[in-house]
Amino acid sequence: MTSSRWVTVLFSAFLAISLIASVLLQRGVDHLRTGATLEEVLYISSPQALKRLSLGYDGLLADIYWTRAVQYYGNKHHEGARRFDLLAPLLEITTALDPQLLVAYEYGANFLAPQPPNGAGMPERAIALEEFGIRNNPNAWQLYYNAGFIHYMELKDYAGAAKAFARGAQVPNAHPFLAILAGKMAEHAGDRQMARMMWGTSYQTTKDINVRANAAAHLRALQVDEDVTNLEALTARYQQQTGRFPSSFSELEAAGMLRGTPRDPLGQSYKLMPGGSVDLRTPDDFPFIEKGMPAGYEPPVSPKILPSD
C-alpha cells in the first residue's frame, strides 16, 4: 500500500471514529444536563420584533414557530403536564408572523382551551386567538365556529357561543350548521343534545384524523353519560317497585324495563353495581366521561384517544 493510500485509510478511520465518539459524548452531555432544554425558552417573545428580524421571510418563520408550538403541546400532553406556559406565546408569535395561517388558529385554540391535561386551560386566550384570526380572515367560517365552540364547551357562555355562531353564519359559504347551531342555542343551551350536535359537526367538518378522533371520543363519552343516566334511572325505578336494586340486567329485562344486555359504544357490556349504579368495564377507553366511572377510579395522566372510525 502506498503512503498516500495509508494516509487516506488512516484519516478516514479517524474521521469515522471521531464522528461516532462525538455523537456518544454529546448524548452523555445531554444525559447529564436533562434540564438544559431549549423547550422552555423563548429568547424573543415580541412577535413584532421577530417579524422585523425575519427580513420579510416571515412565512417560513411562522411555519417554524407553528411546528414548535405543535411539538411543545405534543410533548407536554404526552407527559400529562398541568402547565403549558409557552403555548400561548408560541401561538401568538406564529399568528403575528403569518396572520393567514388558519391552521394555527383552528388547532391552536383547541390546544389552549381545554382544561389540563387535555389542554392549557386558557379558554380566554383561545378566544382572543380566534378573534385575532377573525379580524385577519373575516371570511373563514371555521374560526367563528371554533370561537363559539370554546364559548360553549369551556366557558359555558351560551350567549357568547350563540353570537359567534350567528356571526359565522353571515360569512359567505359558511357551513349551514352554523345557522342551525345559532338558532338552537337559545333553546337547548347546556343540554347533552346540543353538545352532541356540536361534536358531531366537528367530526363531520374536520379533515384532520386527530381532531376527528377527539370528536369521536367526545361523542362516545356523551353516549356513555346518556346510557348510564338512563340505566341508573331504570335501576332506581326498579328499586321503587320492588324495594331492592336489581342484581343483574336480566332482572330488569325480566321486569320488562330493558331489552337485552346494554353495551357501551365500543361493544362491551355495562357493569351493574350493587347500589344500582352502572359502571364501564374499560373506563380508560372513554376519556371525557362524567358518568360510569368505577368508585375510586383515577383516569390516566394522558387521555387515551382511540383512532376514529
Partner 1 sequence: MNSRIAHIASNTFREAVRDRVLYNLIVFALLMSAAAVVVGQISIDIERLVVINLGLTAVSLFGMVIAIFIGIGLVSKEIEKRTLYTVLSRPVRRWEFIVGKFFGLAGTLAVNTFFMAIGVFVALLYVSHRFQKQDGWVLVALYFIILQFLIITALTLFFSSFSSPLLSAVFAFSLFVIGSFAEDLRGFASMTQGTTRWLATGAAYLVPNFSALNIITSVAHSQPVSGQLVLYNSAYALVYTAMAICGAVLVFERRNLK
Q: Which residues bind partner 1 (CB under 8 A)?
A: 52, 55-60, 62-63, 66-67, 70-71, 98, 100-101, 103, 107, 208, 210
Residue 105 CB, nearest approach to partner 1 (Å): 12
> What are 47's three cell numbers?
412577535
Residue closer to partner 1 (CB basis): 51 or 188: 51
Residue 112 CB, nearest approach to partner 1 (Å): 14
Give CA–CA dist 120/82, Å, rounded: 7
Residue closer to partner 1 (CB basis): 72 or 286: 72
Residue closer to partner 1 (CB basis): 100 or 241: 100
Residue closer to partner 1 (CB basis): 25 or 103: 103
Residue closer to partner 1 (CB basis): 9 or 103: 103
Residue 35 CB, nearest approach to partner 1 (Å): 23
Give CA–CA dist 83/121, Å, rounded: 9
Residue 106 CB, nearest approach to partner 1 (Å): 8
Residue 94 CB, nearest approach to partner 1 (Å): 10
